[in-house]
Amino acid sequence: MNRVEYAIKTLVPRQEMTGADRTWARQYQVDDILRYSRSSQETGIKRGEYTRVVGVDAQKNLVTVVRADGSEQTYDPRRQMGVIAYRAQEKAFSVGDRIQFTSPDNELKIANRELGIVEEFGADGRMRLKLDGGRSVAIDPEQHPHIDHGYAMTSYSSQGQTAERVLVHVDTELGAKDLLNNRMAYVAISRGQNDAQVFTNNAGKLADVLARDVSHMSALEPQIGITQPAQDIAKALHSELSLGAELGISL
């Protein structure tokens, strides 16, 4: 049976951008798609609006965006809160594919990172999806571009979800070093109900990377429930490490 693929333009979040990053122009890139969850009287940009970045002045800390009506707006990102940055990508989907939503949709009552399966593509271009919760929904990808393949997700996105088995990919040479720490290890590995396997490029560095403590003294109490299990997982990794690149941990 031939696999029929449908090319769909999607918006994928720039996961490497933290809340603090969004206040600095140098963190933005030309052609980033920005979505605003807050209105601003200063810029005139409304809640729910989308813009595209067309210019970045890192020295003056200014970002220039083009709005849906074609007008351009230049502003200091420190003055515009509630911004999420995306990159536009064309992805191929087929019937039977696992998908995930990369943004909540209040109209359809869909949560961020909710998962489902593609049931069919209509002649009008709409996708019919069967959500993991049991509901069926139909979406127009042009109006709801916040979808992605649902076979893998970031550790941050997996919070609150569980699976019988999880496969965790850890690149010890990741440029954003702050993303690799004991909290990430705890969240990612504890998603698995029965089994977790860690795949890495460097087994020798893995335990040290995942043992990094990112808790802060000013927030010590709220972190106790996360940090201690994370440290326990890091210790377990030390004892489980072998010369291979695949590590299996029974939970």
168 with 240, same domain? yes
Same domain? For 71 and 111 the reply is no
What rounded mean pLDDT belongs to the chain?
Answer: 77
Taking the C-alpha atoms of residue 29 and residue 51, their distance in angstroms, rounded to an integer, is 13
Q: CA 223, CA 20: separation in Å to the nearest integer?
A: 20
Residue 113 lies in a domain: yes
Determine the structural domain holding residue 233 and report its residue range: 163-250
The mean pLDDT value for 172-199 works out to: 66
pLDDT in tens, 62-97: 999 999 999 999 999 998 989 999 999 999 999 999
Look at residue 62 and give its three-state secondary structure: strand
Count of alpha carbons within 13 Å of 120, Cβ hemisphere only? 4
CATH of the domain at 112: 2.30.30
Q: Is residue 226 part of a domain?
A: yes
How many domains does the chain divide into?
3
Tell whether 186 and 244 lie within a shared domain: yes
- Give the C-alpha distances (Å, rounded to integers) separating 9 from 14, 51, 88, 200: 16, 16, 7, 31
Strand-pairing partners, residue 44, are: none
Q: Is residue 123 in a domain?
A: yes
End-to-end CA distance of the chain: 39
Please give the pLDDT value at position 203. 73
> Nearest CA to 162 among 184, 193, 194?
193
Residue ending a domain, among 87, 113, 141, is 87
- Can you give the pTM of this predicted structure? 0.61
